[in-house]
């Protein structure tokens, strides 16, 4: 555990781009859109039985994926649970399933569509389940940045790397420019691969994962990283800063993990002596430095499984998962790192009424909320995803 004492200061958060949930419509982006469904009432006492009956009627024709951050009422119907990467692989491994019902967010369903066959349909039970981080990098903005790198004569030395949590458009851009997708589990391997091919990395869209991996796992200095702000001319950077940088970080963040602060860590250490602080690498750099352990969602699950009985853990990730882990390990003291509630509001859009509606529509022969990626984008995004799967 290290509390950061240098003169470096954590950048102020990027404004969240989501529409007010359930209001307005912007189907071309991750932003919230209206759900077109005639949804059952949340108070319907028969919802569980209806979901069971619809799933049974569909049988092997449907495969339900559940992200770790989903609600309990939804996760109980998942055929498999996991993080975004594991779920994409699970979808790809089910060529016989006609329908993939993705209980997660929009970019995950896009990745599933890219990785599954043309005969398969990917369904997102609520189109308002987007991701504010993915929405912070829009293709036009990223192309503007790349044009700037080209004008400065540095584009040939830059390798783009995008986090899985990005739109298919961004993955397509990265694939078109010989880059790679990464996850929070393999970010170091992806950066190592990228630095073997170029002098700089352009990291999208999560500044925190990029900075934490470069500095804490790859040995770079904070001064080697610059922050490209798409809302400022030239990203708010001088040509010299861009030429000197090793890591050009996109100014994006997760609105859930970005909420944890150094004060959260200090407060829990005072309140619970001996507590282990375990956080996700999407957290701010000062929080990750002050933690005892950092790792992906799958890492967090395994670390808590392996922890000795009686140990205390303050976990900095999404609340649905932390709650489930606390219930699964009653012999350990597992708590949320912050005192305030911190669900992923867009993940929570997928609730039991939306799942019931989606499954019953499929039973009736209609495909609701199908997520499709256009063939050209899918082709290039697939190249960046395949490159990730081939990482040494």
Pick the binder of ligand SF4 from 346, 369, 377, 387 (CB under 6 A). Answer: 346
The site for ligand SF4, by CB under 6 A, has a size of 13
Which strands, in side-by-side order, build the sheet including 333-336? 293-294, 276-279, 312-316, 333-336
CB of 48 to ligand SF4, least distance (A): 25
CA distance 33 to 126: 9
Restricting to residues 59-118, name those near ligand SF4 by CB under 6 A: 69, 105
- Please choose, out of 131-139, 190-198, 218-226, 328-336, the segment that lies near ligand SF4 by the rule CB under 6 A: 131-139
Restricting to residues 10-69, name those near ligand SF4 by CB under 6 A: 69
254 is in an annotated binding site: yes
In this structure, the chain runs to a length of 392
Site map (CB under 6 A) of ligand SF4, residues 324-343, x = contact: --------------------
131 is in an annotated binding site: yes
CB of 134 to ligand SF4, least distance (A): 6
φ/ψ bin of 281: left (φ > 0), alpha (ψ from -120 to 50), beta (otherwise) = alpha
- Please choose, out of 130-138, 147-155, 169-177, 366-374, the segment that lies near ligand SF4 by the rule CB under 6 A: 130-138
Q: Which of 166, 176, 172 is nearest to 373 (CA)?
A: 172
SS (H, E, C) 74-140: HHCCCCEEECHHHHHHHHHCCCCCCEEEEECCHHHHHHHHHHCCCCCEEECCCCCCCCHHHHCCCHH
CA distance 19 to 84: 23
CB of 114 to ligand SF4, least distance (A): 18
**DSSP state, 378?**
H
Strands 276-279 and 293-294: what pairing? parallel
Restricting to residues 295-324, name those near ligand SF4 by CB under 6 A: 318
Site map (CB under 6 A) of ligand SF4, residues 251-280, x = contact: ---xxx------------------------
Within 10 angstroms of residue 48's Cβ, the number of other Cβ atoms is: 14
Which CB, 256 or 388, lies closer to ligand SF4? Answer: 256
Within 10 angstroms of residue 18's Cβ, the number of other Cβ atoms is: 19
285 is in an annotated binding site: no
Q: Can you point out the beta strands (E) in the chain?
A: 62-67, 80-82, 99-103, 121-123, 158-163, 180-182, 200-204, 225-228, 247-250, 276-279, 293-294, 312-316, 333-336
Pick the binder of ligand SF4 from 78, 88, 131, 209 (CB under 6 A). Answer: 131
Q: Binding-site residues for iminosuccinate, please?
A: 67, 84, 163-165, 184, 280-282, 297
Residues engaged in binding ligand SF4 (CB under 6 A):
69, 105, 131-133, 165, 254-256, 318, 344, 346-347
Q: Binding-site residues, please?
A: 67, 84, 131, 163-165, 184, 254, 280-282, 297, 344
Q: Binding-site residues for [4Fe-4S] cluster, please?
A: 131, 254, 344
């Amino acid at each position: 555990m290290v509390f950061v004492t240098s003169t470096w200061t954590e950048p102020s958060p990027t404004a969240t781009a989501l529409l007010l949930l359930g209001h307005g419509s912007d189907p071309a982006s991750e932003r919230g859109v209206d759900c077109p469904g005639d949804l059952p009432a949340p108070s319907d006492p028969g919802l569980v039985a209806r979901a069971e009956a619809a799933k049974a009627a569909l049988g092997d024709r449907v495969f339900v994926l559940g992200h770790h951050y989903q609600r309990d009422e939804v996760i109980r119907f998942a055929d498999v649970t996991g993080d975004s990467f594991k779920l994409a692989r699970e979808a790809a491994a089910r060529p016989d399933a006609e329908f993939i019902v993705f209980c997660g967010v929009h970019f995950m369903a896009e990745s599933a569509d890219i990785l599954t066959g043309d005969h398969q349909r990917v369904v997102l039970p609520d189109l308002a389940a987007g991701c504010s981080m993915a929405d912070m990098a829009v293709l036009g903005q990223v192309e503007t940045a790349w044009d700037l790198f080209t004008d400065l004569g540095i584009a040939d030395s830059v390798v783009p790397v995008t986090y899985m949590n990005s739109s298919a458009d961004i993955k397509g851009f990265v694939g078109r420019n010989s880059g790679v997708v990464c996850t929070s589990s393999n970010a170091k391997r992806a950066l190592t691969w990228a630095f073997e091919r170029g002098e700089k990395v352009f990291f999208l869209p999560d500044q925190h994962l990029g900075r934490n991996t470069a500095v804490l796992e790859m040995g770079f200095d904070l001064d080697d990283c610059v922050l490209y702000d798409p809302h400022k001319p030239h990203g708010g950077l001088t040509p010299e800063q861009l030429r000197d940088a090793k890591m050009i970080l996109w100014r994006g963040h997760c609105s859930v993990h970005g909420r944890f602060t150094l004060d959260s860590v200090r407060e829990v250490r005072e309140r619970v002596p001996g507590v282990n602080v375990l956080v996700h690498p999407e957290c701010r750099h000062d929080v990750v430095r002050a933690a005892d352990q950092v790792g992906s969602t799958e890492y967090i699950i395994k670390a808590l499984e392996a922890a000795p009985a009686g140990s205390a853990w303050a976990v900095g990730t999404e609340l649905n998962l932390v709650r489930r882990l606390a219930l699964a390990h009653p012999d350990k003291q597992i708590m949320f790192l912050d005192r305030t509630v911190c669900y992923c509001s867009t993940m929570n859009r997928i609730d039991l009424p939306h799942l019931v509606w989606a499954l019953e529509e499929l039973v009736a022969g209609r495909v609701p909320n199908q997520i499709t990626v256009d063939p050209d984008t899918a082709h290039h995004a697939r190249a960046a995803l395949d490159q990730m799967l081939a990482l040494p």
